[in-house]
């Protein structure tokens, strides 16, 4: 009974928030795939998703469902960090997507490193003259000590910082590799709730700068101005060799007692076909 209330609480929170990384809860429901009548018995796979993991898991699920017709995949919005683990452990979810590498202490769970997602530091098209930013540039921009693009060789215009919450995986990585944990945020920065909001804002607000998923940019075919960081571009080669640092893992949590349907999906995730699908969608397969 307690587990049932736990799942209802998560779903209720997600519906209240209205969207997960650009996908409303109604859209998440619509993304569930269904079989035509008259087909053989179906198996259902329930996947917990949060932010970028919805994009990755739906990409994989759509490709899998094009081959395996008797499996239904549904997505459950996860509103709280670490709920991904609890959902799988308690049997309320079959799988959960996570955007960080985990070392599981629970012996009943397994972690599959599925892909990498490079994060882009990009600006509005009005800041095209600047192609590279250094660590010191980023610190100055995000702290508010550098306020005009002209100081970096750009237009004479105020810098508009599009920031994300501290517990967002994007902001955590930005702090880890460039900003540092103690840097105070600019008081004039625009704090956005979701990464998807930052993508929309940077396209519409002149002289703005933000950080977001390269996979989202690829899937939406967006035209932005990504910057190299300390002279290193976010190319597949630089990501794979570790030269480009702003990269987050996309992993899948599963139970060691998973059903055959779930095991079949995980086997597909490890396949060359899945790797090709991920690559076309802007992710780098592991």
Do 43-116+249-285 and 118-241 share a fold? yes
Residue 92, pLDDT score: 94
Per-10-residue mean pLDDT for the chain, 286 residues long? Answer: 40 34 35 40 89 94 93 89 86 94 86 96 94 98 98 97 94 97 97 93 96 88 90 95 96 96 97 96 93
Residue 240, pLDDT score: 92
The answer regarding whether domain 118-241 maps to CATH 3.40.190.10 reads yes
d(CA 26, CA 278): 25
Q: What angle do CA 208, 210, 215 make, to 5 degrees?
A: 130
Residue 81, pLDDT score: 67
**239-272: pLDDT as tens digits:** 999 999 999 999 999 999 999 999 999 999 999 9
**May I ask the CATH architecture of the domain 43-116+249-285?**
3-Layer(aba) Sandwich (3.40)
Nearest Cα to Cα of residue 250 among 59, 107, 71: 59
Provide the terminal-to-terminal Cα distance of the chain, rounded to the nearest Å: 38
Question: How many of the other CB atoms lie within 10 Å of CB of 259?
Answer: 13
d(CA 253, CA 277): 20
Its pTM stands at 0.80
Residue 13, pLDDT score: 36
Residue spans per domain, the chain: 43-116+249-285, 118-241
Q: Which helix (H) or strand (E) holds 134?
A: none
Residue 247, pLDDT score: 97
């Amino acid at each position: 009974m307690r587990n049932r209330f736990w799942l209802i609480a998560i779903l209720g929170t997600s519906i209240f928030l209205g969207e997960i990384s650009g996908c409303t809860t109604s859209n998440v429901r619509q993304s569930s795939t269904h079989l035509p009548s008259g087909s053989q018995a179906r198996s259902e796979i329930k996947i917990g998703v949060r932010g970028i993991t919805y994009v990755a898991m739906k990409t994989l699920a759509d490709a899998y469902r094009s081959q395996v017709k008797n499996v239904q995949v549904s997505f459950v919005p996860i509103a709280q960090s670490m709920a991904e683990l609890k959902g799988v452990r308690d049997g309320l979810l079959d799988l959960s997507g996570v955007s960080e590498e985990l070392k599981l202490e629970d012996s009943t769970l397994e972690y599959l490193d599925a892909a990498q997602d490079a994060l882009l530091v990009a600006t509005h098209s009005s800041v095209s003259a600047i192609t590279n930013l250094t660590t010191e540039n980023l610190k100055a921009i995000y702290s508010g000590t550098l306020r005009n693009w002209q100081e970096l060789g750009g237009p004479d215009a105020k810098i508009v910082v599009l920031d994300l919450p501290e517990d967002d995986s994007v902001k955590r990585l930005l702090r880890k590799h460039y900003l540092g944990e103690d840097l105070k945020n600019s008081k004039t920065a625009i704090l956005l709730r979701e990464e998807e909001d930052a993508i929309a804002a940077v396209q519409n607000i002149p002289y703005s700068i933000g950080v977001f998923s390269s996979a989202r940019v690829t899937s939406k075919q967006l035209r932005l101005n990504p910057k190299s960081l300390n002279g290193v571009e976010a190319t597949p080669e630089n990501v794979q060799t570790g030269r480009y640092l702003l990269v987050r893992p996309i992993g899948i949590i599963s139970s060691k007692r998973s059903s055959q349907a779930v095991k079949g999906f995980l086997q597909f995730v490890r396949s060359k076909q899945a790797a090709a699908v991920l690559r076309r969608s802007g992710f780098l397969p592991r």
